[in-house]
Structure 1
């Protein structure tokens, strides 16, 4: 592997500890709050706050993990007002003052926490469905149910004498068919006269919130893209027409892809393929892009006057909490927090190029190609093709230290936006239904074959790896003839039919729609060495399926390794097992490279 001697390798510890995750920006009383997950602190998620003149401080007690598991993936785990915190955590809902101890309020698992008038609104999930509940913030903390459904509920948003929320059935995912509802509401009163504002079988209407004009705003993909709409109590109209996704696929609760500035403009994060941009929409519907140093923006925007707080990154900038001042002049960016640390300042970063590969006459696929760090333009190297999870996720133009871990060791890393990815419109996202394990595998193989034909990928040294749904893709890629010499399957799904019965309630409809393509990964079909990495506490993809497949491979004499990470859940990359996983993955590829070199 021709890595220049001057290129410093990203250490295992740095690759893990640099991967700090920021989430869930919110503003209250002029103070900005966010969640910060620090792998070097055992993956505990801390509530952090910033206020002008006071700097950045932790708001939740040390060691308290601010999280919830509503709909399996959580979200909306805190609410704040006047120095008080309400945080979801292990064991239920807690409340307390900034920096102080938190007291248990309710043992219910709650998410999408939102403050109403003297009440805390939240989503409560059970095996039988969802409820929107209200907890009185005075007296005995009485709890009452506002809305109940056998399906799913989210985004309780109180407005002028009204409550808005989103709802979808147990047969759907929120990005397939989701509705926005409104009803008359008063604190301590009942929900009355509910009205469906938008959404249906062929429309995903999400992220409702009330504007300063008293109208209800929401995202809808009725045009084929999630765009912003407004309901004035009588009719629905488009706020602006944008070719791009103005919302993220709602895996988690509490997303905020847009917000309102005090001068009447609306700020929106838009995704075009692997890129994000920030746009401003004025009162006439005119759209203007904002020049920023970021190419990836998380779906959490929070406005403070004419400033917007965001979580941004780029291929050379690790995730940052930034204030973007949007006055009349050019935008000014003020960084409040960043996940970089001193040990990586001098590391040479591999920056990606966009590659488009024709798969069929009617479809092309986009990939991000990270060359080995320090390599010349005419590089040739072992290649790791990464199939993202979801499969509705997408590859993003942001600094990924775990990719840099491999590029600094002479590998090229290639992220593929295969069919089913978000960022290309509703039709592209839906097209993988019933074709899972087929078209996604074809797309990854097409990219790998293109790099081989171009002389960039070393023959016999092209690998595929994936996590969760991407793990299923990776396994099927080595269960057929193709360009891949080995696979790494992390938190992998093995049997789509069995998965429909074991997957969490939220994702069951997704499993039902995806299946019908390649079917179960059969040990008899696997042709290349496989590394399995799985957490013993994974509740999304069952460990037993992976262990069974590994046993069958052993019986057939197929080279494989199984790394089980004790007490680790579905998200290995941000867990306490992240370091061991990276180390095992590197050893797996190096063994395959050595075998290819001697064959």
Structure 2
């Protein structure tokens, strides 16, 4: 605790300003590039470049929000080569030439996975009819050629001399359920010839193809039950190094790179095991060597040059940062290039989590990360906010989250739950929520809450559940039944899985179909606890009309929810320009429930006198 004994509260403004997000890290011939999303600047996203001796600066055109809308969640939003930057934007692909400061819209449509090839730009273009692999040549007015088409989905166009690799999955699948890796003969300016499926299909997710320096094609497959690295030599595919962990992230976005090749023949890989990430190096004989780093969370964007890997890492005490890690010596050397911090929070005391494992039905364990109130004693007791992560195939992560710290600095404990269906525990665990959504996830969150109550950590009547997107559906169902939760906050929530399957972007329709069949729609008449609904009016993933209808039905039944609708905000409220308003509303919601409960208790005591 700081001198004076009082823990300073983290303000809404500071929590938002410190929540800069880094993504899509990649190398180019003139430096290291990445995306920066800055909530305090209206939630806009810019491309930053770092050069040795020059440092970091923005290089994308001012006023252009660099973001891919492909497959609803985007990815692969930019590419850079030879003084030119290509960016996905609101109308298509833009070219920015730094030598003449000119910005051109060169192709219309929804593009992603922009990749520099030999004299051309490769990309995925999506329409409601399906996907295309596109090639754009590096000329003043690049003609656009279609290399492949699919009524389903395409991704990861990756070239090698004379070859092209890519991924494909059907409109009936999510890429983490069934995804294929394909290769074909290809030369720039030409056409795809004799395509061959290398891996993947029903029951196997094969993702992230890359051509190795040895000329072989590498990819990640979960055929063993874990996403592990494989090598295809043109005849057969073999495991590079079996690891009981996920060597790829769940592919919500295009453009992921969970591994890369060092120039000494070794392969560097980011591995997820539960909520924790680690970096490993795989030697030529398949020997796995861990790399000692100050990070417990690593994003799936590794960028390798020589014996150095650039990564986006964080930990419970280190906000996300872009770092260079030199792997040539016995001990890795880390150089931080950019960090997500805010001057007002420098040196601020933070709450660090402990891992909690709770036994649930059928002998299964659920893991949770428990963040006690900031500065609390070892025997703390406090109001608790249980958070159900989105996805539901996402996971809770061991990294500094200033929006969680906002609540812990205000006297709450925050608990993140890796409920059934989370990534980081293998394919079987991930698939087990299908048909049980709104049931098993709710049971897992409730089991953690009950454990904390029984252990004397949580205060009875002051345990809340909060979730976003799929987690919002979990939170709402959690308060339709008797249980430990006194109230719920649902952000960008899915309300009716059946109707969601009709309105969700086509990328996620298969997900909606497989998840549904558990608890069904959230019924207004079933809600038993106070609810706060926070939703962006421009949400294209979970439409606001469903939340408005639920709110109206609850109001007509005399149990009006608190509602915060955010104009022109999309699905990601936490990184939007209205993130602060959402945080403030959530804090007010919990305090209001606690105050009402205290007033009711006081009134009861008065009547008993």
TM more than 0.5: yes
Alignment TM-score, normalising by the size of structure 2 = 0.97
1:412 equivalent in structure 2? 413
Contact residue 266 and residue 283 of structure 2 kept, 8 A: yes
3-state SS of the aligned residue for 1:263?
coil
Contact residue 106 and residue 141 of structure 2 kept, 8 A: no
> 2:45 matched to 1:45?
yes
For residues 101 and 516 of structure 1, the distance between their equivalents in structure 2, rounded to whole angstroms, comes to: 52
> 2:369 matched to 1:368?
yes
2:563 equivalent in structure 1? 562
2:136 equivalent in structure 1? 135
3-state SS of the aligned residue for 1:197?
strand
3-state SS of the aligned residue for 1:476?
helix
1:156 equivalent in structure 2? 157
For residues 158 and 313 of structure 2, the distance between their equivalents in structure 1, rounded to whole angstroms, comes to: 26
For residues 107 and 165 of structure 1, the distance between their equivalents in structure 2, rounded to whole angstroms, comes to: 22
For residues 166 and 367 of structure 1, the distance between their equivalents in structure 2, rounded to whole angstroms, comes to: 34
1:339 equivalent in structure 2? 340
Contact residue 61 and residue 96 of structure 2 kept, 8 A: no
TM-aligned CA deviation for residue 542 of structure 1: 1.0
Contact residue 528 and residue 559 of structure 1 kept, 8 A: no
Contact residue 351 and residue 405 of structure 2 kept, 8 A: yes
Deviations 1:565-588 (A, max 9, x none): 000000000001101100000000
1:428 equivalent in structure 2? 429
Contact residue 357 and residue 368 of structure 2 kept, 8 A: yes
TM-aligned CA deviation for residue 62 of structure 1: 2.1
3-state SS of the aligned residue for 2:280?
strand
TM-aligned CA deviation for residue 441 of structure 1: 0.1
1:12 equivalent in structure 2? 12
Matches within 5 A, 1:520-539: 520-539=521-540
Contact residue 353 and residue 370 of structure 2 kept, 8 A: yes
Contact residue 9 and residue 347 of structure 1 kept, 8 A: no
2:605 equivalent in structure 1? none
2:517 equivalent in structure 1? 516
3-state SS of the aligned residue for 2:23?
strand
TM-aligned CA deviation for residue 596 of structure 1: 2.2
2:606 equivalent in structure 1? none
For residues 150 and 560 of structure 2, the distance between their equivalents in structure 1, rounded to whole angstroms, comes to: 48
For residues 96 and 128 of structure 1, the distance between their equivalents in structure 2, rounded to whole angstroms, comes to: 29
Matches within 5 A, 1:540-555: 540-555=541-556
Contact residue 152 and residue 170 of structure 2 kept, 8 A: yes
TM-aligned CA deviation for residue 518 of structure 1: 0.1
TM-aligned CA deviation for residue 101 of structure 1: 3.9
For residues 440 and 101 of structure 1, the distance between their equivalents in structure 2, rounded to whole angstroms, comes to: 50
1:92 equivalent in structure 2? 92
2:586 equivalent in structure 1? 585
Contact residue 551 and residue 560 of structure 2 kept, 8 A: no
For residues 102 and 227 of structure 2, the distance between their equivalents in structure 1, rounded to whole angstroms, comes to: 41
TM-aligned CA deviation for residue 5 of structure 1: 4.9
Contact residue 37 and residue 46 of structure 2 kept, 8 A: yes
For residues 40 and 456 of structure 1, the distance between their equivalents in structure 2, rounded to whole angstroms, comes to: 35
For residues 138 and 539 of structure 1, the distance between their equivalents in structure 2, rounded to whole angstroms, comes to: 35
For residues 137 and 195 of structure 1, the distance between their equivalents in structure 2, rounded to whole angstroms, comes to: 28
For residues 328 and 341 of structure 1, the distance between their equivalents in structure 2, rounded to whole angstroms, comes to: 33
Contact residue 18 and residue 341 of structure 2 kept, 8 A: yes
For residues 436 and 26 of structure 1, the distance between their equivalents in structure 2, rounded to whole angstroms, comes to: 36
For residues 139 and 373 of structure 1, the distance between their equivalents in structure 2, rounded to whole angstroms, comes to: 57
Matches within 5 A, 1:175-254: 175-254=176-255
For residues 151 and 448 of structure 2, the distance between their equivalents in structure 1, rounded to whole angstroms, comes to: 43
1:68 equivalent in structure 2? 68
Deviations 1:40-66 (A, max 9, x none): 111111100011111111111222211
3-state SS of the aligned residue for 2:498?
helix
3-state SS of the aligned residue for 1:309?
strand
For residues 191 and 374 of structure 1, the distance between their equivalents in structure 2, rounded to whole angstroms, comes to: 61
3-state SS of the aligned residue for 1:441?
helix
3-state SS of the aligned residue for 1:102?
strand
Contact residue 163 and residue 184 of structure 2 kept, 8 A: yes
Matches within 5 A, 1:268-347: 268-347=269-348
TM-aligned CA deviation for residue 25 of structure 1: 0.7
1:116 equivalent in structure 2? 117
3-state SS of the aligned residue for 2:360?
strand
For residues 511 and 277 of structure 1, the distance between their equivalents in structure 2, rounded to whole angstroms, comes to: 31
2:445 equivalent in structure 1? 444
Contact residue 125 and residue 134 of structure 2 kept, 8 A: yes
TM-aligned CA deviation for residue 559 of structure 1: 4.3
Matches within 5 A, 1:472-483: 472-483=473-484
For residues 60 and 218 of structure 2, the distance between their equivalents in structure 1, rounded to whole angstroms, comes to: 32
TM-aligned CA deviation for residue 223 of structure 1: 0.4
Contact residue 322 and residue 334 of structure 1 kept, 8 A: yes
TM-aligned CA deviation for residue 30 of structure 1: 5.0
Deviates more, 1:359-368 or 1:207-216: 359-368
Contact residue 167 and residue 178 of structure 1 kept, 8 A: yes
3-state SS of the aligned residue for 2:184?
strand
3-state SS of the aligned residue for 1:14?
helix
Contact residue 478 and residue 526 of structure 1 kept, 8 A: yes
For residues 596 and 163 of structure 1, the distance between their equivalents in structure 2, rounded to whole angstroms, comes to: 63
For residues 83 and 294 of structure 1, the distance between their equivalents in structure 2, rounded to whole angstroms, comes to: 33
For residues 31 and 83 of structure 1, the distance between their equivalents in structure 2, rounded to whole angstroms, comes to: 10
For residues 313 and 76 of structure 1, the distance between their equivalents in structure 2, rounded to whole angstroms, comes to: 22
Deviates more, 1:4-13 or 1:479-488: 4-13
Contact residue 18 and residue 339 of structure 1 kept, 8 A: yes
For residues 570 and 296 of structure 1, the distance between their equivalents in structure 2, rounded to whole angstroms, comes to: 23
For residues 257 and 408 of structure 1, the distance between their equivalents in structure 2, rounded to whole angstroms, comes to: 34
TM-aligned CA deviation for residue 140 of structure 1: 3.2
TM-aligned CA deviation for residue 98 of structure 1: 3.7
For residues 98 and 339 of structure 2, the distance between their equivalents in structure 1, rounded to whole angstroms, comes to: 22
For residues 322 and 136 of structure 1, the distance between their equivalents in structure 2, rounded to whole angstroms, comes to: 33
2:354 equivalent in structure 1? 353
2:572 equivalent in structure 1? 571
For residues 182 and 22 of structure 1, the distance between their equivalents in structure 2, rounded to whole angstroms, comes to: 31
TM-aligned CA deviation for residue 139 of structure 1: 5.0
For residues 10 and 475 of structure 2, the distance between their equivalents in structure 1, rounded to whole angstroms, comes to: 25
> 2:94 matched to 1:79?
no
